[in-house]
Amino acid sequence: MSELYQDYKNAVVTGAARGIGKAIALFLAKSGLNVVVSDILIEEAQQVAQEIKAMGVQSIAVKSDVSNIEDAQKLIDVTVETFGSIDYLINNAGVTRDNLAVRMSEKEWDMVIDINLKGTFLCSQAASKAMMKKRFGRIVNIASVSGILGTAGQANYASSKAGVIALTKSFAREMGKRNITVNAIAPGFIITEMTEQLKEEVKAEYIKNIPLNRGGTPEDIAEVVRFLISPSASYITGTVINVSGGLLI
């Protein structure tokens, strides 16, 4: 396990009340970081923050709609006011509103694009301004293999995640001279509360296309996040790491 930076201790994880975001938040806390738990589900976010405090590090929960510019800026401002800096930003907040493209409503399109793509942009923009002052920062965006392959019934989601990948590369080019790395992770089929609700035959259909013959865990994603914010990854930026069990082979 890669050691983390000793002088940089403060992380923000969006969409951290459940699933992959929660796993990332807890994993980073176990690694000794202070974690701001951001989510629209504030009560669940507060519970995660309490779990983190029990590990002996600091944590606060912040209710944030990342698609709102005021909320995104407030999230970063509160982090800096509370902990003195933001060193790591994990853009995980995301939603799905699946439908066939020919039936998809404008509302379904806009909601997914606004939260998944615009939210990633707004939080990254606000965090980058604070990171640039210190000439240090690590941003990790949670994309998806859907943004690479495209997915039937998910034109909005796949488009938003493809946008996140392009956004990652653009930010990486702009931020590199300030010692800020920006990378993305593209998860495949990850077992979470959401995917557990799928019918068994649907899950089996997904898994049969995965060479490792199983779904991933939120901790599989958290491990890669930890690597990307560590000194071991200090020369990696603008990269997309697929964590999909070989789905993209």
Between CA 119 and CA 121 the distance in angstroms is: 5
Pairing of strands 34-39, 10-14: parallel
Between CA 212 and CA 217 the distance in angstroms is: 13
CB of 240 closer than 8 Å to CB of 185: yes
Catalytic residue, chosen from 8, 157, 206, 235, is: 157
The tokens describing 48, both together, are 């995660």
Quick count: other Cβ atoms within 10 Å of Cβ 198?
Answer: 14
Provide the phi-psi class of 135: left if phi over 0, else alpha when psi is between -120 and 50, else beta: left
Which residues have a Cβ under 8 Å from the Cβ of 135 and sit 6 or more positions away? 178, 179, 180
Between CA 109 and CA 39 the distance in angstroms is: 21
Angle between helices 218-228 and 19-30 (to 10 degrees): 50
User: Could you confirm whether 88 is annotated as catalytic?
Assistant: no
* Residue 105, SS3 per DSSP: coil
Phi, psi angle pair for 34, to nearest 5°? -80, 140
CB of 58 closer than 8 Å to CB of 15: no
The residues annotated as belonging to the active site are 157
